[in-house]
Every structure is written in structure tokens, then in C-alpha cells.
Structure 1
Amino acid sequence: MDLFFPRRVERPLYGQFGELAQLLVQAADAHSRLLGHGYRERTRILPVLHENATRATELCGRVANRLAESLITPYEAEILYDFALTIADTVDSLEHTSELLVLTRVGTLPTPLLEAAKGIERAAELTLVATWSLNQVRDLDDYYTQVRKVRRQGDRLVRQALAELYRRGGASSELLAFRDVTTAIARTIELQERTARFADLLRVKDA
């Protein structure tokens, strides 16, 4: 199944997946910048993530419509839709984390969380590259493996951040806010692995 989509819908659909992944890359970059700044700069960056999330939702709907018109099997269409939907959910998660930071006015984040954000950027870039191989899914064999590595590292960094927060101590309200932000970052990392797993399902089916 080297050519995954019929040629009459191939390029437009590939373009939509690539555009969706590009939104993820942009959101991951804005997310990292927002995490590394203080409140005032965070309020300037947050609208970028709102826009990314809105566009991702709209684009995911267009992907669903194109899949409904394609000649691929329902099983393949479902996996591809889940792939697109989880990318959009990841962009939403990045927006959610950023909004939490602004609303709770959380201060400087532990270094491990900033490192985890860089891992999220890396996974987003891997996802973008993966969309270029959707017409030859056998080329996706390394994608899930690489994102799994990012997930494991991200989980370790999240645990380190939580330990640092509890050692730091402080008011319970501040600790809860930090914990909510940490949980939101962990959620984003989980969604990125889920995205890669859907792509890997396509590869396994084609084997």
C-alpha cells in the first residue's frame, strides 16, 4: 500500500495533515516561550495559542470531510481521523496549559518543566515529518520509537519537577496551581505519544 490515498485526493489531504502538524509545531514553540517568561509576556503570547487551537479545530473538521470523500477503508479513515483529532487535541492542551499559567499567575517554573517543553517541541517536529510519509506508511517505522523516547524523558522530567515543587514548599494554593500546570504538561506529552501510536497502527496494518 505504497500510495495510501487515491491520487484524486492525495495532495489536498496530505497538505491538510501537514498544515495541522505545522500548527502543532507553532503552538509548541509558543508554549515553550510562554513557560519561560513572566506574567506580562505570557499574556502577550497566549493569543497566539488561542489562534492555533481555533485553526487546528477547524482544520480537523476539514480533514474529516476529505476522509469521508476518499476511497480508503473505514478502518483506515478512522485511524487517520484519530491521528488528526489527537494532533488538534494536543494543540488544545498546549493552550490549556498556557491559559492556566496566565490565570493562576504562577511564577518561575522548575527547570525540568522547561526541559519537558523542549521535548514537546521535538515531538511536534517529529509529527510534522511523519505527515510527509503518510503516502508510504512503511517509512514511519522510527516515528513512534522516537516519540516514545520523548515520552519517557518527559515523564521523568515531570516527576523531577513535582519533587522540586514539594521540596520548595510554600502556600497550598500556589502548590496546587503548580501541580495543575505540571499535570497539564504531562497530558500534552501523553497526547503526543497517542498521536504517534495511531500512525504506527497504519504502519503495522500495511506490513
Structure 2
Amino acid sequence: MSRAVTVSRHYGAQSRNGTGEKIIGVEEEELADASSTKLRLVAKIVVVVGARGGEERDGRGGRARKSIMPKIKTSGVKYPDGWELIEPTLSELQSKMREAENDPHDGRRKCEALWPIFKINHQRSRYLYDLYYNRKEISQELYEFCLDQGHADRNLIAKWKKQGYERLCCLRCMQTRDHNFATTCVCRVPKHLREEQVIECVHCGCKGCASGD
């Protein structure tokens, strides 16, 4: 028994056919035969844009299915009100992030190479978190825009809103699978319960992020 499987393939290079139409993507529908590991090509649908903005058509002359190619980001981003007030700080943090990523890290342990990156990620996430939740100086639209644009760690902020994780340094330090005996990182232990008062997390360099410290 056979079952139809739709396999989408999109090619980065654009080309034009004999009619002057620009090919922007290709979808291939293949048939998977249960008795064979081979895939037999059944139909090929070529998504085209007419030279004069005509409708999309497939390779058989009919109307093509809706293209599933991802949206292409352009520079014409519409920034919400208030963006100009926080842009300098976010740009500065972004520059520091690039420097941290490009740092050769000579003479340091392998794990220490990631510490500055974790620190800056925490810093810019906390900056937006405080502006929105504590100081209430930015709108929800601007806050969500910053998260969508990658200016803060959405998952880390989600943890800060839960009791006991208000000062969490990074997500890795709370994951039990990354630590011995299925526990959390030493930086999550309150100061009054630590055997050593001065600690440094091996994952991100945190010196303590337990709530109440």
C-alpha cells in the first residue's frame, strides 16, 4: 500500500523560465511505496511569479498551492513608540555581545569562554524585564517587539516570573540533567547553606542567584 508524502524543497537561487517568469520556489510531491525504500516523483509544482505580477501557477497549468516559503525579513521594520529611548542601551549590549562572541579566549578554560555571553544575555534580559514589569516604563507592544527581535531571552524571563527563580542566572543552572545526583547548580544554593561562601558556577560564572540572597 502506498501513501502520499509531500516534500517541500526551496532553492535559494532564483531563475527565470522562457516566459520571463521568476521561479521563487519548488514543491515536490512524492509517493512513498511501503514495499520499497525508493521515492517515485509524482508531481512537481513550480511556484512562479509572473513577469507582470500574474497569479501563481503549477507545472501542469493549474493554480499552484499557497507557497510555504518563509517570510523574508526586510529593513523596513516598524518600531513601536518608545523604541528610540531604549535603542542606545540595547545597541551597546549588542555590541558587547559581538565582542564576547569574537573574543579569542586565549589562556582561559573552555567553559570560561561562554561566561561573558551568558552574562550579557542575562543583563539585557533583566534590563527589559525591569523596564516592563517593575518600572512600567515601556508598553507591552514594545516589550513583545523586543522579545520577537531577540533583544532578550524570553524563556529566562518566563522563569523569573516564578517563585524561587526571581534571580535565576541562566536556564542551564536549573536543569538537573546537567548536574551530579540530579541536583541544581551550586549557585542556586542560598548563601547561608553553602559550605563555601565564595563560589563560581562552571556553566556561566554565576556567584549566586538564589532568591533572598
- Structure 2 length as normaliser, TM-score? 0.28
Q: Highest Rg: 1 or 2?
A: 2
